[in-house]
C-alpha cells in the first residue's frame, strides 16, 4: 500500500509516485487526494459541493469556478458520478454536477494499489489448448466492453479510453504472436478462416462465446450491445447493424442465430446466440457430436401411424392365469445382467443391451390382451407404440404392401431420433398372420399375399419387443408361427380370476348394499372386458337413483343384458 500512503502523506503532490500517470493538473490531483482520504476513512461517496467548498474559497461562490476540475476528472475516468440520469459527461453542464455525488473509479483505485495501470504480459509462448486461447480472447472482449462502457459516458478521447486502447492493442498483438508459434489446431481460428470473418465479425462471435462460457444469458446478446462493442461513433453504429441483419455472413453461414421477443413497448428485440452444432465443435473439438435426442411424444405428433401409450399399470396390476404370468416373468428375467451374460456366453444372444422378444397374444375378445401388452411395457420401463392393423386395408387401398414397410420404417426412424426402444404393439393382427392364399386366386389375393410376405420379412429382422394380438390362433400361417418366440394364450378367466377382476374394477368410493357379495357376480362366465363394461353401465344406472347404492340385482340385470347380446359385438374399451 506504499502508493496509497505516499499519495496521502507527501506534501508536494507533484512529487507523489503516481502523479506522472494522472495526466491532470495539481488542483485536480488535490481533489483526488481529498477523495482518497475520505475513501480510506470509510466514506465512499462525496458531494461535489462539499469537495469544492472544503478545498477552495467559498467567498462570493468562487468554488463554482472549480466545477470544471470535477468535469475534467470525470472525463479522465479517475472519478465516477452518481446520478439518476445517465448522460455523457461531455454533454453534462457544469451546474448539473454541483449537487451530485462522486467517488473514485476502479481505475484510480487500481493505480493507487499497484502504482501502474500498464498491462503486464508474459513472454510469448504457444497455446497448449483451446481453453488457454479462449482466456486471452475473453480478456480481449472484456477490454472492448470497458471501452464501450466508457465511450457511452465520457469523452471519446478520455485518458481511460486511450489507456484501454493501448492495453487492447498489446493484447491483440500478443494473441497474434502466440498463434504463430502454436502447433495444435484451434477450432475457433479454423472457423474464422473457413468463413473468412473480418475483425468485427470475430469480436461479435467471441463476445457471444464468452456469454456461453460465463453462463450469462443477457449481457452481450442484445443487438445494440453487440453493435456498440464494435462501433466508435454513431455513424458506425448504423453501419455495423448490417453485421447482425438477415443475409449477414455470421447468420447465413449458420455460425449464429437469434430469437425475437416482444418488448414492453410493443417492439421486437433480438437475442443472439451461437448455434448448437458450432458450439459443440468449439467446446468438444476432438469429439463427434452425438445426434440430438428428440422426445418421443413430440415426434409422435408429427406422424399419423402410431398411437403413443404411456403405461399406467404393470403386470402386478393385471389378473392373469398362472401359466401366462410365468411366461411373461421369464421374459422379464432376460433384463437381469447375469442372465444376459450367460446367454451371450452360450451364443444364444448377441451383444445387444436390450432384450429381444416377439410375442403373439391370442384369445377371445375382452380377455386382456392389450391391457397385458401395455402393462408388460410398464414392467419393461418402456413406452408403447400401438398400431391398429385393421386399418391397413381400409386406409391404404392399393398401397397395402408399401404401407406395411412404412409401419416398420417409421418405427425405426422414431427409435433412431429418440434413442429409445419402445414396444411395438400390433393390435388385431389377424389379417397379417392368417394363412396365405394358394393357387392362382384373384388380384386381391395376390395383393394380400404380397402384403403378408413383406410383413413376414419385417418380422424376421425385427429387433426389440414386438407384440401382436389376435383372436384366432388356429388360422395363423405356419411361417409366422415360427417367427414368434412366444405364443401366449389368453383364455376366459376362471372363478378365482373373476373374483379378482371384480375386486379390482368395482368403484372403491361407492356405497354397496348390505351383504353385497362379489362371489355371486363371479359365478357368471364373463371376460375382463365384459366385467368392465357391465360395471360402467351399472354405475350409470345407479347414479340416477334417488338413493345411489349398488345392489347385486343391479349388476345381475346388466350381466343378463350383456349375456343376451343386447350390447351386440361392440368392443370393450381397454381390453382388446
Q: Where in the chain is the domain with CATH 1.10.8.60?
A: 495-563
- Tens digit of each residue's pLDDT (9 = 90 or more) over 207-254: 999 988 876 545 678 888 899 989 888 888 999 999 998 889 999 888
Say what the pTM is. Answer: 0.47
Q: Assign 569 a pLDDT band (cuts: 50, 70, 90).
A: very low
Assigned C-alpha cell, 140: 480481449
Q: Assign 192 a pLDDT band (cuts: 50, 70, 90).
A: very high
Q: Is 79 helix (H, G, I), strand (E, B) or coil?
A: strand
pLDDT value of residue 512: 94
pLDDT value of residue 133: 92
Q: What CATH code is assigned to 495-563?
A: 1.10.8.60
Q: What CATH code is assigned to 2-114?
A: 1.10.10
CA torsion sign, 498 to 499 to 504 to 505? positive
- Tens digit of each residue's pLDDT (9 = 90 or more) over 407-417: 888 898 888 88
DSSP 397: T
Which range has the top average pLDDT, 51-55, 58-62, 335-339, 429-433? Answer: 51-55
- Tens digit of each residue's pLDDT (9 = 90 or more) over 296-328: 778 888 787 888 888 888 888 888 888 888 888
| Cβ neighbours, 10 Å, residue 448 | 20
Which of 39, 29, 38 minimizes the C-alpha distance to 7?
A: 29
The whole-chain average pLDDT of the chain stands at 82
Q: Is 497 helix (H, G, I), strand (E, B) or coil?
A: helix
HEC states along 299-327?
Answer: HHCCCCCCEEECCCCCHHHCCCCHHHHHH
Q: Which CATH class is domain 296-489?
A: alpha beta
| Spatial distance between the Cα atoms of 282 and 279, rounded to a whole number of angstroms | 5
Q: Where in the chain is the domain with CATH 1.10.10?
A: 2-114, 130-283
Which residue matches cell numbers 464501450? 148
**Which tops the pLDDT comparison, 526 or 574?**
526
Task: Please enumerate, as own/partner, the contacts of 348-356 that have beta carbons within 8 Å and a separation of 24 or more.
Answer: 352/463, 354/421, 354/464, 355/331, 355/380, 355/465, 356/463, 356/464, 356/465, 356/485
DSSP 434: B
| Spatial distance between the Cα atoms of 555 and 466, rounded to a whole number of angstroms | 38
CB within 8 Å of 126: residues ≥ 6 apart: 178, 181, 182, 183, 184
Burial class (CB in 10 A: 0-12, 13-18, 19+), 288: exposed
- Tens digit of each residue's pLDDT (9 = 90 or more) over 547-562: 999 999 999 999 999 8
pLDDT value of residue 9: 92
Q: What CATH code is assigned to 130-283?
A: 1.10.10
- Tens digit of each residue's pLDDT (9 = 90 or more) over 78-132: 888 876 555 566 667 888 888 899 999 888 898 898 887 665 556 688 998 888 9
Q: Where in the chain is the domain with CATH 3.40.50.300?
A: 296-489
Q: Are 248 and 242 in contact (CB under 8 A)?
A: yes
| Spatial distance between the Cα atoms of 109 and 36, rounded to a whole number of angstroms | 9
- Tens digit of each residue's pLDDT (9 = 90 or more) over 39-67: 999 999 999 999 998 898 777 788 888 99
Amino acid at each position: 500500500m506504499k502508493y496509497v500512503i505516499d499519495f496521502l502523506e507527501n506534501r508536494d503532490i507533484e512529487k507523489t509516485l503516481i502523479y506522472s500517470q494522472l495526466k491532470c493538473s495539481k488542483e485536480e490531483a488535490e481533489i483526488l487526494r481529498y477523495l482518497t482520504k475520505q475513501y480510506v476513512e470509510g466514506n465512499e461517496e462525496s458531494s461535489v459541493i462539499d469537495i469544492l467548498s472544503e478545498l477552495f474559497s467559498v467567498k462570493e461562490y468562487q468554488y463554482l469556478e472549480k466545477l470544471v476540475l470535477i468535469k475534467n476528472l470525470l472525463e479522465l475516468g479517475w472519478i465516477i458520478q452518481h446520478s439518476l440520469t445517465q448522460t455523457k459527461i461531455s454533454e453534462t453542464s457544469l451546474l448539473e454536477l454541483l449537487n451530485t455525488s462522486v467517488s473514485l473509479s476502479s481505475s484510480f483505485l487500481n493505480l493507487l494499489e499497484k502504482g501502474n495501470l500498464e498491462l503486464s504480459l508474459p513472454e510469448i509462448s504457444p497455446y497448449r489448448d483451446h481453453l488457454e486461447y479462449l482466456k486471452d480472447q475473453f480478456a480481449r472482449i472484456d477490454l472492448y466492453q470497458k471501452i464501450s462502457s466508457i465511450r457511452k459516458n465520457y469523452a471519446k478521447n478520455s485518458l481511460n479510453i486511450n489507456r484501454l486502447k493501448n492495453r487492447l492493442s498489446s493484447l491483440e498483438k500478443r494473441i497474434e504472436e502466440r498463434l504463430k508459434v502454436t502447433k495444435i489446431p484451434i477450432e475457433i481460428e479454423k472457423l474464422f478462416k473457413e468463413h473468412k470473418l473480418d475483425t468485427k465479425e470475430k469480436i461479435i462471435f467471441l463476445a457471444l462465446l464468452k456469454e456461453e462460457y460465463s453462463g450469462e444469458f443477457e449481457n452481450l446478446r442484445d443487438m445494440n450491445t453487440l453493435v456498440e462493442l464494435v462501433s466508435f461513433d454513431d455513424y458506425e453504429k448504423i453501419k455495423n447493424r448490417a453485421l447482425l441483419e438477415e443475409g449477414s455472413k455470421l447468420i447465413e453461414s449458420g455460425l449464429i442465430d437469434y430469437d425475437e421477443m416482444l418488448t414492453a413497448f410493443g417492439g421486437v428485440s433480438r437475442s443472439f446466440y451461437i448455434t448448437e452444432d458450432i458450439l459443440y465443435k468449439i467446446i468438444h473439438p476432438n469429439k463427434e457430436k452425438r445426434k440430438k435426442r428428440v422426445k418421443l411424444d413430440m415426434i409422435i405428433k408429427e406422424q399419423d401411424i402410431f398411437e403413443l401409450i404411456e403405461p399406467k399399470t404393470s403386470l402386478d396390476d393385471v389378473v392373469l392365469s398362472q401359466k401366462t404370468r410365468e411366461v411373461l416373468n421369464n421374459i422379464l428375467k432376460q433384463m437381469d445382467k447375469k442372465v444376459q451374460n450367460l446367454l451371450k456366453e452360450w451364443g444364444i444372444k448377441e451383444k445387444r443391451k436390450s432384450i429381444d422378444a416377439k410375442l403373439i397374444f391370442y384369445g377371445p375378445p375382452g380377455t386382456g390382451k392389450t391391457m397385458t401388452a401395455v402393462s408388460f411395457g410398464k414392467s419393461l420401463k418402456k413406452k408403447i407404440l400401438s398400431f391398429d392393423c385393421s386399418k391397413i386395408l381400409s386406409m391404404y387401398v392399393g398401397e397395402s404392401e408399401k404401407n406395411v414397410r412404412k409401419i416398420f420404417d417409421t418405427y425405426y426412424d422414431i427409435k433412431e431420433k429418440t434413442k429409445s426402444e419402445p414396444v411395438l404393439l400390433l393390435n388385431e393382427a389377424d389379417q397379417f398372420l392368417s394363412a396365405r392364399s394358394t393357387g392362382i386366386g384373384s388380384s386381391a389375393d395376390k395383393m394380400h399375399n404380397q402384403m403378408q410376405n413383406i410383413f413376414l420379412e419385417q418380422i424376421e429382422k425385427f429387433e426389440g419387443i414386438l407384440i401382436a394380438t389376435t383372436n384366432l390362433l388356429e388360422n395363423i400361417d405356419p411361417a409366422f408361427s415360427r417367427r414368434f418366440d412366444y405364443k401366449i394364450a389368453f383364455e376366459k378367466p376362471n372363478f378365482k380370476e373373476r373374483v379378482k377382476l371384480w375386486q379390482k374394477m368395482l368403484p372403491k368410493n361407492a356405497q354397496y348394499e348390505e351383504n353385497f357379495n362379489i362371489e355371486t357376480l363371479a359365478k357368471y362366465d364373463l371376460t375382463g372386458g365384459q366385467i368392465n363394461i357391465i360395471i360402467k353401465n351399472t354405475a350409470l344406472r345407479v347414479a340416477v337413483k334417488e338413493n345411489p347404492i349398488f345392489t347385486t340385482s343391479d349388476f345381475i340385470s346388466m350381466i343378463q343384458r350383456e349375456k343376451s347380446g343386447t350390447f351386440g359385438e361392440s368392443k370393450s374399451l381397454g381390453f382388446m
